[in-house]
C-alpha cells in the first residue's frame, strides 16, 4: 500500500513537473510549402516565376521568391506547373438536375419527383466534381429544394466532406408564383411553389422572407425581379437590399425583361442574373454603377443550345465586355442528358468539366484570356463577397489554389485540365488525381456547435 502511494505521488510530481505531459502529443499547426514554377496574379494579369508559398494550417502565411522553407514542412513541388487562385462559378444550381427522362427537361417535375434529401446528395456530388475541376467557390442561387444549398455549405464548413466554398441563397424570393405557373389546386391545396420559391408580395412578406432565408443560412439573397408581370418595383427591390444588408447579404436579381433590368439597375442591385434581356444601354448603366453580371452564357454544344441562341449570347457578352460591365463566369448549370460525353474518349463529362466548357462562349466573344481569368477569379470573389477572406493568393487569406500545365494568361483552355487543387490548406487533388481522404471526417471538426459562421 505504502509503495503504491509513493508511486502515485511520484507520478503526480512527474506530471506537475511536465515530464509526463511532454510525452503527450500536442497538435501543432501543419506547415505546407508549395514551390510554384509560375504564379499568376489575376488581379494584375502578371506572372512571377519560381515562387514559394508558405501555408500554415488553413491560411497562407507568406508568398515570395527565395523564402526559407520551415523545418518539418510538407513540400509540394509544382515547379513544372502554373499556380493560380481557385475558380468561381458565380451562378449555378448544384441541387437541381433536370433530365430528358422522365421529366422532358421540365424542371417543375423534378421538384415533384426528387426529394430534398436526394437533391442534397446530388449537390454534394456536384460540389466534389466542381472542386475537382478547380472551382473553389460557387454561388448557388436557388432551386435547391428545402435548403439543400445551405445544408451543403454547413456540411463542407464543418468538415464532413470536400467541396467548394458555397455561397447559398436559400429559396428564390418572388412575387406570387415565382417562376412557376401552377394549377389552382396545386397552388392552394399543396403549396407547390415552396420550397423552390417563397411568395413575398407585400413589404412585410418581403422582409420576413429575407430574414428567414438568412436565419436558415443564406449568404446571398436571390429574387425574381420580373418572373411575373406583377414583379418587383424599384421600391420592393430597395427593401430587399436594405433588409439583406442587415444580415451581411448582397442581392442578386433574376432578370428576363428589359423593364425588369431597368428596375433592378435603378434600385442599385448588386448582381443581375442572365444577360439575355440586357441592352447596350443597360450595360452602360451597369458599368457606371458597378453592378455585377452573372450572364449565364451557355455555349452551343452537342448536348445543349442552338446556334441562334448562341450567336445572341456571344453578342451580348461581347457588348457587356466592351462597355466594361463587371463580368463573372457563370453557368446556371442544372440539367443533364446522355449526350454529355467526351467526344474523344466516350466517357461521361463531370459537372466540373461541363461547367468549365462555358469558356467556349467567352472565346467566341473574343474576350482576352486575361479578362476571362479576371472574371472567373477576382470578379467571382467580389460577387460572392468573400474577397477579404479568400480567393487571391495573399498572406492572411485561406489557402485555396489550383495548378495547371499551361499558362491561362495566353491560352485560357489551360483551365480545362486542372492538375492540382488545394482548399483551406488541404490537398484535394495532386498530379491530376483526386486524393480527398483528409476532407472526410466522422464528425464536425469546425463550427461544431452548429452555429453559422459569418
Ligand atoms: Zn439560375
* Residue range 324-364, pLDDT digits in tens: 999 999 999 999 999 999 999 999 999 999 999 999 999 99
Q: Which residue has better confidence, 442 or 257?
A: 257
CA of 54 to the centre of ligand 1 (A): 38
CA of 334 to the centre of ligand 1 (A): 8
CA of 201 to the centre of ligand 1 (A): 21
Q: How confident is the model at residue 7 (pLDDT cuts 50, 70, 90)?
A: low
Note the pLDDT of residue 434.
Answer: 97
CA of 253 to the centre of ligand 1 (A): 10
Q: How confident is the model at residue 17 (pLDDT cuts 50, 70, 90)?
A: very low
Note the pLDDT of residue 451.
Answer: 53
Which residue has cell 440586357? 278
Task: Provide the CA 122 distance to its chain's centre, in angstroms.
Answer: 15
Note the pLDDT of residue 317.
Answer: 98
Q: Which residues pair with 174 in a beta bridge?
A: 199
Note the pLDDT of residue 15.
Answer: 45
DSSP, residue by residue, 37-95:
EEEEETTTTEEEEEEEEEEETTEEEEEESSPPPPTTPEEEEEEEEEEEPPEEEEEE-TT
Asked if pLDDT for residue 25 goes beyond 70, the answer is no
CA of 225 to the centre of ligand 1 (A): 13
CA of 92 to the centre of ligand 1 (A): 6
Note the pLDDT of residue 19.
Answer: 45
Pairing of strands 59-64, 46-56: antiparallel
* Residue range 153-194, pLDDT digits in tens: 999 999 999 999 999 999 999 999 999 999 999 999 999 999
Task: Determine the Cα–Cα distance for residues 129 and 136; give it in Å rounded to an integer.
Answer: 11
The helix/strand/coil state of 427 is strand
CB 238 within 8 A of CB 205: no
Interacting residues of 414 by C-beta distance below 8 A, sequence separation 6+ = 82, 404, 405, 406, 407, 408
CA of 222 to the centre of ligand 1 (A): 10
For residue 35, give the C-alpha cell: 514551390
CA of 275 to the centre of ligand 1 (A): 12
In this prediction the pTM is 0.93
Nearest to 23 by CA among 15, 31, 34: 15
Which residue has cell 445543349? 304
Amino acid at each position: 500500500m505504502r509503495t503504491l502511494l509513493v508511486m502515485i505521488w511520484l507520478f503526480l510530481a512527474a506530471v506537475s513537473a511536465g515530464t509526463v505531459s511532454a510525452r503527450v502529443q500536442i497538435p501543432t499547426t501543419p506547415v505546407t510549402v508549395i514551390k510554384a514554377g509560375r504564379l499568376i496574379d489575376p488581379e494584375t494579369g502578371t506572372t512571377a516565376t519560381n515562387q514559394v508559398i508558405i501555408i500554415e494550417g488553413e491560411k497562407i502565411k507568406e508568398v515570395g521568391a527565395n523564402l526559407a522553407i520551415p523545418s518539418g514542412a510538407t513540400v509540394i513541388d509544382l515547379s513544372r506547373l502554373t499556380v493560380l487562385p481557385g475558380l468561381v462559378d458565380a451562378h449555378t444550381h448544384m441541387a437541381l438536375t433536370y433530365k430528358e427522362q422522365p421529366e422532358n427537361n421540365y424542371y417543375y417535375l423534378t421538384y415533384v419527383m426528387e426529394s430534398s434529401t436526394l437533391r442534397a446528395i446530388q449537390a454534394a456530388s456536384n460540389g466534389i466534381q466542381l472542386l475537382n475541376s478547380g472551382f473553389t467557390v460557387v454561388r448557388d442561387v436557388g432551386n435547391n429544394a428545402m435548403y439543400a444549398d445551405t445544408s451543403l455549405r454547413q456540411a463542407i464548413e464543418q468538415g464532413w466532406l470536400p467541396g467548394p466554398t458555397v455561397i447559398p441563397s436559400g429559396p428564390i424570393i418572388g412575387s406570387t408564383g415565382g417562376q412557376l405557373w401552377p394549377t389552382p389546386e396545386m397552388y392552394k391545396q399543396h403549396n407547390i411553389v415552396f420550397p423552390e420559391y417563397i411568395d413575398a408580395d407585400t413589404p412585410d412578406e418581403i422582409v420576413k422572407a429575407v430574414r428567414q432565408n438568412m436565419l436558415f443560412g443564406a449568404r446571398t439573397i436571390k429574387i425574381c425581379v420580373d418572373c411575373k408581370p406583377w414583379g418587383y418595383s424599384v421600391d420592393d427591390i430597395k427593401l430587399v437590399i436594405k433588409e439583406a444588408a442587415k444580415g451581411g447579404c448582397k442581392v442578386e436579381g433574376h432578370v428576363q425583361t428589359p423593364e425588369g433590368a431597368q428596375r433592378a439597375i435603378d434600385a442599385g442591385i448588386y448582381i443581375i442574373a442572365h444577360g439575355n434581356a440586357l441592352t447596350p444601354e443597360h450595360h452602360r448603366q451597369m458599368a457606371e454603377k458597378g453592378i455585377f453580371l452573372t450572364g449565364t452564357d451557355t455555349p452551343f454544344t452537342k448536348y445543349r443550345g442552338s446556334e441562334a441562341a448562341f450567336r445572341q449570347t456571344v453578342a451580348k457578352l461581347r457588348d457587356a465586355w466592351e462597355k466594361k460591365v463587371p463580368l463573372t463566369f457563370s453557368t446556371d448549370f442544372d440539367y443533364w442528358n446522355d449526350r454529355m460525353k467526351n467526344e474523344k474518349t466516350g466517357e461521361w463529362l463531370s459537372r466540373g468539366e461541363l461547367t468549365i466548357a462555358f469558356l467556349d462562349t467567352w472565346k467566341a466573344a473574343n474576350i482576352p484570356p486575361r479578362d476571362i481569368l479576371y472574371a472567373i477569379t477576382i470578379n467571382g470573389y467580389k460577387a460572392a463577397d468573400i474577397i477579404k477572406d479568400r480567393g487571391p493568393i495573399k498572406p492572411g487569406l485561406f489557402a485555396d489554389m489550383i495548378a495547371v500545365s499551361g499558362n491561362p494568361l495566353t491560352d485560357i483552355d489551360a483551365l480545362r485540365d486542372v492538375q492540382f487543387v488545394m482548399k483551406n490548406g488541404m490537398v484535394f487533388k495532386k498530379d491530376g488525381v483526386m486524393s480527398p481522404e483528409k476532407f472526410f471526417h466522422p464528425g464536425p471538426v469546425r463550427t461544431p456547435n452548429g452555429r453559422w459562421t459569418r
